[in-house]
Amino acid sequence: MSEIDDAAEWAQAAESYDGDKSNNKVRARDRAPDFDDDDNVKNPGQPNQYALYGPGFMATTPTIKTLPPGCYDIQNDNRGVFVVPALAPSGLLLELPEMRSEEVIRVVDNFWNSEGDYKDGNQFVVGGAQFKAGVMIYGPPGSGKSCTIKLVSRKLIERGGTVFFSSGYPAVTMRWLEDFARVENNRKSIVILEDIDSLIANYGESNYLEMLDSAKTINNVLFIATTNYPEHLDPRIYNRPGRFSHVIKIGLPTDTTREAYLKAILKDHRDVEEIVRESKGFTIDHLTALVNGVYREKKNLATELKRLRTLFRVPKSDGDGRAMGIRNGDD
């Protein structure tokens, strides 16, 4: 691309200026074009630069070459699309046995470790086929889907990756991914779509189908979606390997899972056997509430078990999913 072509591209792309240097918004276009002529734009990343803005020029805010590893929310305003730092995973995050979280982690590991070539400077190709993967996680509320997302996010961030949370218009997410790929074409990232059934209800199924299909042309992006109610989704969303190559159920914790969780968070294990025996059907959230009630608020164990049992409801989506055509990892 010539300098003139590059300038023309940036004339179309540079849309915003924010004079507040303390603003923590990150825009893929908030950088000046790289010129090698005699103008004073010699040090990318410095604030004393100009960006092309239509037929004119505008001063840029300070720029960075790479996005720091972390979690980000994708947002937009009248000046463009940007990301803001989101709360990074913290606290106690456990990899519990028989939770199937390890299957999601394995998909992410394969995605991170995959190597391939770039075809036409755009599509990432592995073994002659375009690399495309996505994970749909489903299961009852409180089963551990959000915890799995936190585990995956933390592992990716530790490797220097980025995690983007998409909760708005799909077109905004696509715009950011295109901008991000333009700036850091070889960097891998994950896009999280939590409660995708609610997102589709808010922004339209056709818009999400278009986003998932359009994202195939973006390098190094892995979508991870979660839902409590897969029966609310059209099969076109979850039953197309080109959109979600893995559909994984995270069900209610087994006896082994509950025992491991309780032993991890309790110093005194004397009640663990009784709790495991009396808490069949409990989610991790129920167990957490039980521990808080009994060991922090000093309530009676039997009374708290009974109270939580009366609150517990098994959602319709707790079935094995075969009637809905969902592919289970163990099928």
Query: Residues 43-76: pLDDT tens digits?
Result: 445 556 787 878 888 887 788 889 999 999 999 9
SS3 category, 248:
strand
Give the C-alpha separation, 36 to 134, whole Å.
Answer: 41
Residue 325 has what pLDDT? 42
Q: What is the dihedral of CA 230, 231, 235, 237, to 10 degrees?
A: -40
Q: What angle do CA 78, 79, 85 make, to 5 degrees?
A: 100
Q: Is the pLDDT of residue 317 over 70?
A: no
Q: Is the pLDDT of residue 115 over 90?
A: no
Rg (CA), the chain: 23
Backbone torsions φ then ψ of 292, nearest 5 degrees: -65, -40
Q: Is the pLDDT of residue 35 over 60?
A: no
Between 161-165, 189-193, 233-237, 253-257, the lowest mean confidence (pLDDT) is in: 233-237
Percent helix / strand / coil, the chain, rounded to 5 = 40, 15, 45
Distance set, CA 101 to CA 213, 221, 229, 317, 324 (Å): 26, 20, 18, 18, 22
The more confident residue out of 98 and 324 is 98
The more confident residue out of 190 and 324 is 190
Per CATH, the number for 101-251 is: 3.40.50.300
The more confident residue out of 93 and 309 is 309
Sign of CA dihedral 323, 325, 329, 331: positive
Q: Is the pLDDT of residue 278 over 90?
A: yes
The more confident residue out of 51 and 24 is 51
Quick: pLDDT tens for 279-298: 998 988 899 999 999 999 99
Distance set, CA 106 to CA 42, 71, 94, 223, 296 (Å): 44, 20, 16, 14, 36
| Sheet arrangement for strand 221-227 | 80-85, 70-77, 162-165, 189-193, 221-227, 134-138, 246-249
Sign of CA dihedral 38, 43, 49, 51: positive
Q: Is the pLDDT of residue 12 over 90?
A: no
Kindly list the domain boundaries of the chain, sorted by start residue. Answer: 3-65, 101-251, 255-316
Give the C-alpha separation, 142 to 145, whole Å.
Answer: 7
Query: What is the mean pLDDT of the segment spanning 158-176?
Result: 94
Residue 46 has what pLDDT? 58
Band (101; pLDDT cuts 50, 70, 90): confident
* Percent residues over pLDDT 70 in the chain: 73
Residue 47 has what pLDDT? 57
**Whole-number average pLDDT of the chain:** 77
Question: Exposed (0-12), middle (13-18) or buried (19+): which is 66, by Cβ within 10 Å?
Answer: exposed
Q: Is the pLDDT of residue 272 over 90?
A: yes
Band (313; pLDDT cuts 50, 70, 90): low
Residue 311 has what pLDDT? 78
Query: What is the mean pLDDT of the segment spanning 108-133?
Result: 57
Instruction: Let me know: does 70 contact 163? Beta carbons within 8 Å.
Output: yes
Quick: pLDDT tens for 76-96: 988 789 999 998 776 667 778
Instruction: Let me know: does 95 contact 101? Beta carbons within 8 Å.
Output: yes
Q: Is the pLDDT of residue 318 over 70?
A: no
Quick: pLDDT tens for 122-151: 443 444 444 466 899 999 888 889 889 998
SS3 category, 53:
strand
Both tokens assigned to 246:
């893995």
Residue 25 has what pLDDT? 55
Query: What is the mean pLDDT of the segment spanning 160-177?
Result: 94
* Percent residues over pLDDT 90 in the chain: 40
Q: Is the pLDDT of residue 30 over 60?
A: no
Instruction: Let me know: does 173 contact 74? Beta carbons within 8 Å.
Output: yes
Residue 163 has what pLDDT? 96
Give the C-alpha separation, 248 to 225, whole Å.
Answer: 10
